[in-house]
Each structure stands twice: as structure tokens, then as C-alpha cells.
Structure 1
């Protein structure tokens, strides 16, 4: 198994166990290959730490620094394990005491850093971190030293304040990790957890470790992936349209987009960045506030894959149909009767079929027709196939929960 095959294997293993975290898992690998940084937003208990811990298990020889930071966290808490006190002979009977920092196991020697609640840091600590993540340098006694740092992964419950914008801007990849909404997926998560407690090895991630030398080789390969002028033109169009929507992407982040796109193309087995990479990556790079995620995703789709935008609208409609059918409450808050509940399930199944196969009577295309259009037009089709699978899962959920049927 060569280096990139190991990456694909490890990603597949993580997706097998970490149900519903496909985007976040891909983000970890993109950050590593592009030597960028990634942050996960979300409440406690949503497997953010587990995701990061499992990710680094697939990297052989890597030093990983883990720390939960707080307002009283000092730079030394991140950079220095202890101090060695040395007496220096100056000659002539004179001496002076020197303190030498010991950095074993700390951030200066780490290849990867996992920082929890990182926006709670104080000013001096944030300044030290900013130098580390931006320049891969740290300072002691006025001397700057290089660091082997590849990527910093942060997780937090809170958005940063305005005084932290420069620090936040260094985290190119951004994900909101929420509760897994689909009941069938939550059942899978519970089953995997139960099997792990019983010692089932197949309920654990079984990575193919990649060495740091292999990783360095892949990082060089990333830079060889071609980005043609047409792709850069599409990126500029997306940024301009987002500007009109009030979403501003400053030059520093703009300049760091291409390595992430190249890394995604490499994982997908392409030697050139395509529209599919824009769709996969940019929705996770171009927002500052989670409220901007929808407009960012729709803008990216409208430019890079207009058929995908139509499919996304069908997928949004399917989710609304599922949630309405599975709820025993009407929109006005009153309870549905058993007959109304069952009838709603039957109507939802019929709507799902039209969303997938289209409506011949009205000429409205479904996901299957749009998938064919995408393939004929050379547009990315993976996200459309994923949407079809999602609608089929919603269909099964309604059939089982509302109608008591295995669909």
C-alpha cells in the first residue's frame, strides 16, 4: 500500500466508525496534506476530541501536543515543560545563572497540536500561538527557533471576539459539529460504542500508519497538482458574489485556498483541480460566522456546479418532508391523530419518490435526471449521488418510524 492509498484507507476507516462526520474527517486530512489549520465548533459530547484523537493514530512517529486552554493559560504552559538551571563560568571568578527551557512533549517539538477551547487564551498566550501557527517559530530569551509543526486542530464552543480575528483567520478549515440528526445513524453510533466496550476490534479504527517521511513526500505531491486559470477564475467569481452577500474573504485566506484544493484533488486521484474540489472544499473555508454557511454553500454550488444547487434544494425539501412526517405534532403545535400520522407517512413516501425519480406529469426533474445531466455536462456528480442516498435514508426512516415497515 503506497502513501496515498494509506491516506484513503485511513479516511475510509474513520468514516466507517465516526458516523455522520465525513466532511470533518476529510478536513483533517486536507489540513495535514496542505499544512494548514482546522477548527471544529460545537457543544461538548459530539465526538470532536475522538475525531482528532483517532486521526493522529494513523501517523507514525508524530509528536502530538494536547492541551485544554483557559484564560489563565500562560505561554510556558504550552511551550515549556520545565527549566534547566545552568551555571555559566564567565572567567575571573565570575559566574551567572542561566535558565534553559526544556520542551520535551510540548508545542515546540510537536508535529500536531490539539488545542481545546483555544479562544479562551489570554493576549500574551495568543500572540505566542499566532507566531507558532503562522511562522512555525517560537521564541526563548530573544532567540527564535523553528518548529516541526504541521497542523493545529482546535475545538471550541464559542466564536472568537473581534480582538481574535487575526488569530481565527489562520484556521482555514472550519466545521460545525452538531448532533447527528438521522435516527438510523445515531443507532449505528450506539451499536459501535457497545461493541467497543465488548472489545470488538472491528468496532475500532484500524489505520495503516503513514510515516512522517511519507507524509512529507505527499505534501510535495500536493504542490504538483495543477490549478488552471479557469479554476482560479471560478474562485474569483465565488469570492465576488460572496462579497455582494456581505461575506468578505480577505487576501490572506484567499492566497491559502489552492493548496487545500490541490490536496483534495490528490486524495480523489486527480492530477488537476476541478469544480468537484471547489464544491468539496470551499464551503468549509469561506465563512466566518456559522450563520453564513448556507449562503456560502449555495454560492459555491451556483458557480461551480449549478446542477448541484438544484439537487441541494431537493435535499433540503426532503429533510423537511422527513421531519414533518416523523413528528407527531402539527405545525400549529397540536397532536396528530393516528390516522393523520399514518397518512402523513404515506404522503411523504410518495413525495420522496418524486424527488428521486422526478414528476413526469409536471416535467420536474428528480435527482436521478439531474445526476444524468451532471454527468453529460461534465459537472461533479459525487455530491448528487450522496444526496440520492440521503433521500433514500429519509424514505426508510419514514417507512420504519411512521408506518412500521422495512422499506
Structure 2
């Protein structure tokens, strides 16, 4: 797919991954949310780069309006939606001045979103779900693309926040950096001063339209149906609406990996979409991974077997011709692996591991091809062996 905007999208993902350590899933999630015009929630302790990631993304997209706010129990509608117009109020018109506030933003970050009180909640729900803001009773279409929500904790039951929680199709848990090498790199500021790529609002809009055109094959629909049945057997019942909305997420993930067709393994991202309560996360993840990873796993298994066969065939046939042929086949297998990695970033670690193994086999083959004494020695072995028998 030779689209320059897709190249920019790949550059943005790489740059964000270089700047934010151990946030690959969240980076993918926030870009998928943006492409699919869905909303994303990050749940985790303070100091885990939730707001920093959102701010950085807003800087990258030129021409968009960004709104960020920290909600508290005492936040007022004026803070989020704008103050009342005093001139209109004198005329008995209840109208808000929305300049620089959420109703005029393309990208929104709301921190501690579950602190939203009832005075804010109803307008927030309508704005997020329907992209409408009622000003003096009249519905106004808003330019909102995505809301990125963040919270240090899950909403408590009985607080009336279920509807707000449901508005976020993608939900990611986030934690502190686990790997010590990454932690030290973060402390040193490695990757923090790099020049970040950018994309215009118009280019992003084109990508969003392109996302809508990504083809979903029947095998993906059938897999989703099987997942729905298995989840139902476990007592987990995502709504039909949530499944329907998830299709746009699959299309966005495929486009992010520069494909025009959804693959079975794209379904893996739905482990962040099809659960409703914390105790369901593990079960949903297991069910979805059983369906999504089969295709990539099978490809890796096939390539590994082919590489092993090529290597041992070359060991048994000691001729230079066999060595050259084996080298060509190894190159082809490595090309397949790199292509697989490009389209399956979530399995990057597994694919890189096999790339290392196949590369090691290829190097040994090349060493034997380039060694002038190797084949002469093998010839001598064959002669002595034939005499012996």
C-alpha cells in the first residue's frame, strides 16, 4: 500500500514507541482509536505517562484543537463546556461560550474521568457518544474525533458511572516500567529529545476515510461469532453494539499495519474491548488469543520447519550448489518473517526470536560456502566412507 500518509503513520508509531518505554500497546491503542474515531481509556497509577502520551499525540497532529482537563468531584460545567454568555443571559438565553473548551476540540484528554459529577455527566455522555452538544437546548455537532480518558482506579459500583465507562470502546491497563534497562534509559532521557514526526488534520481525515474502506473477510466475522459464543458460555456478554463498533477497531489496526484487509490476528486487540468488569479481563484475553494467534503462530511454525529442513538438507548435501540454494531459501524465509513482523507488531518479540534463529542458520551456511577447504574436506570424507563400506 503506497500511501505517504501511511508511511507517516508508521513513523509516528515508531517515534512514540521510542519516546515512551513499554507503552507499545497503548501507543497502538491510541492510534487505532484515532483512526477509528473511537474512544480509549487508560487505567493505572499516577506517573505512568497517561497524559504525556496524549499531549504528545496532540502535538503531532497539526491543525487540530486539543482540550485537556483534570476532573474532580467539584468540577463545574463551565470548566469543561464553557461559561454562560452574560449578554445572552440578559435576554433569557441560556447559552455557553464554548471557545477553547471541549465542544470545540478534535482531541480530548480527561484525567480522572470517573470523578465526573452529575452536573457534567449527562452532557459528557451525549458529547462523547453522539458528537452533539446541546447549547440552549439546540443540538450542535462537535468536531470531536476521540476522547482519551484516564483514571487511577476503576469506577466503583453504584456511582452511576456505568454508562460513561461503556463509552470507551478500548480500555488499557497501564503500569510502571518493568524492565530495569528501560527504566534507566527513561531516567537518562534517552529518546526524549528526538524530533517528532507530524501529520495534518486533513491527512488524518483521509486516513480515517481509508480505515472505513478496509475489507473484513468472512473468516473474521466467523471468528468473532465463535468468540461471542465462548464468552457467553463463560457468562460474559458484550453488547451487540460493542461487537459492531469493534469492527472499526479491527479495520484501524489493519491500516496501521499498512494492510487493506483485516487478518485473523488483528482480533487480538479486542482483548481490550470485550470485557465489562475487571474479573473478566483474563478470561476474555484467553478466549480472544486462542482465536487471534493461531494464524501467526502457524506461520511461525511453518517457517521454522522450512528453515530447519533447508539447513539439514545442506548439511547432508555438501556441494557448493546445495549451499548456494540453501542460502537463497534462507533469504526468502527471512523476507517472509520481516513481512510478517511489519503486519503483526503485537507478535514482534516472537517473530524477532525466530529471525535470530534463521539468521544464525544462514550465517553458518554462508561460512561454509565461503570456506574453500570445507567442500574439499567433505569430498575426502565421502571417498573414505565409500572405501570403508
Q: Note if 1:215 corresponds to 2:212.
A: no
**Given the two structures, how large is their TM-score scaled by the length of structure 1?**
0.71
Which residue pairs with 1:71 in the alignment? 73
Secondary structure of the corresponding residue to residue 110 of structure 2: strand
Equivalent position to 2:119, from 124, 129, 136:
124
Which residue pairs with 2:175 in the alignment? 178
Which residue pairs with 1:398 in the alignment? none
Which residue pairs with 1:137 in the alignment? 132
How many pairs align?
A: 315
Which residue pairs with 1:103 in the alignment? 98
**Counterparts of 2:93 and 2:110, CA distance in 1:** 30
Alpha-carbon contact 1:37-1:153 (below 8 Å) kept: yes
Q: How far off is 1:309 after superposition? A: 8.0
C-alpha change, 1:238 and 1:77, in structure 2 (3 Å) is same
**Given the two structures, how large is their TM-score scaled by the length of structure 2?**
0.74
Equivalent position to 1:151, from 139, 143, 146:
146
Q: Note if 1:234 corresponds to 2:231.
A: no
The one-character-per-residue Cα deviations of 1:121-153 (angstroms, maximum 9, x if unpaired) are 112311110000001011122111110000000
C-alpha change, 1:294 and 1:87, in structure 2 (3 Å) is closer
**Counterparts of 1:87 and 1:307, CA distance in 2:** 62
Equivalent position to 1:288, from 276, 283, 287:
276
Alpha-carbon contact 1:84-1:99 (below 8 Å) kept: no
**Counterparts of 1:116 and 1:267, CA distance in 2:** 26
Alpha-carbon contact 2:40-2:171 (below 8 Å) kept: yes
Secondary structure of the corresponding residue to residue 247 of structure 1: coil
Equivalent position to 2:7, from 5, 8, 15:
5
Q: How far off is 1:247 after superposition? A: 2.5
**Counterparts of 2:215 and 2:97, CA distance in 1:** 43
**Counterparts of 2:163 and 2:94, CA distance in 1:** 32
**Counterparts of 1:225 and 1:381, CA distance in 2:** 16
C-alpha change, 1:391 and 1:180, in structure 2 (3 Å) is farther
Q: Is the helix fraction higher in 1 or 2?
A: 2
**Counterparts of 2:194 and 2:284, CA distance in 1:** 33
Secondary structure of the corresponding residue to residue 8 of structure 2: helix
Q: How far off is 1:308 after superposition? A: 6.7
**Counterparts of 1:12 and 1:69, CA distance in 2:** 31
**Counterparts of 2:193 and 2:25, CA distance in 1:** 20
**Counterparts of 1:223 and 1:388, CA distance in 2:** 29
Q: Note if 1:189 corresponds to 2:191.
A: no
Alpha-carbon contact 1:81-1:104 (below 8 Å) kept: no
User: 4+ runs of 1 displaced by more than 6 Å?
Assistant: 307-310, 378-381
The one-character-per-residue Cα deviations of 1:101-137 (angstroms, maximum 9, x if unpaired) are 2111001100011101111111231111000000101
**Counterparts of 1:247 and 1:292, CA distance in 2:** 7
Which residue pairs with 1:80 in the alignment? 82
Alpha-carbon contact 2:41-2:171 (below 8 Å) kept: yes
Which residue pairs with 1:347 in the alignment? none
What does 1:20-99 align with in structure 2 at a 5 Å threshold? 20-86=22-88, 96=91, 98=93
Equivalent position to 1:265, from 254, 258, 266:
254
Unmatched segments (≥5 aa) in structure 1: 89-95, 196-201, 311-356, 358-370, 393-407
Unmatched segments (≥5 aa) in structure 2: 299-307, 309-332, 356-389
Which residue pairs with 1:18 in the alignment? 20
C-alpha change, 1:383 and 1:97, in structure 2 (3 Å) is closer
Q: How far off is 1:264 after superposition? A: 0.7
Equivalent position to 2:192, from 183, 196, 203:
203
**Counterparts of 1:72 and 1:31, CA distance in 2:** 29
Alpha-carbon contact 1:242-1:248 (below 8 Å) kept: yes
The one-character-per-residue Cα deviations of 1:225-273 (angstroms, maximum 9, x if unpaired) are 0012210110111122122223221122111001110011111111110
Of the two, which has the highest radius of gyration? 2
Secondary structure of the corresponding residue to residue 87 of structure 2: strand
Q: How far off is 1:54 after superposition? A: 0.9
Which residue pairs with 2:213 in the alignment? 224
**Counterparts of 1:157 and 1:33, CA distance in 2:** 26
Alpha-carbon contact 2:80-2:101 (below 8 Å) kept: yes
C-alpha change, 1:141 and 1:51, in structure 2 (3 Å) is same
**Counterparts of 1:185 and 1:291, CA distance in 2:** 30
Q: Is the strand fraction higher in 1 or 2?
A: 1
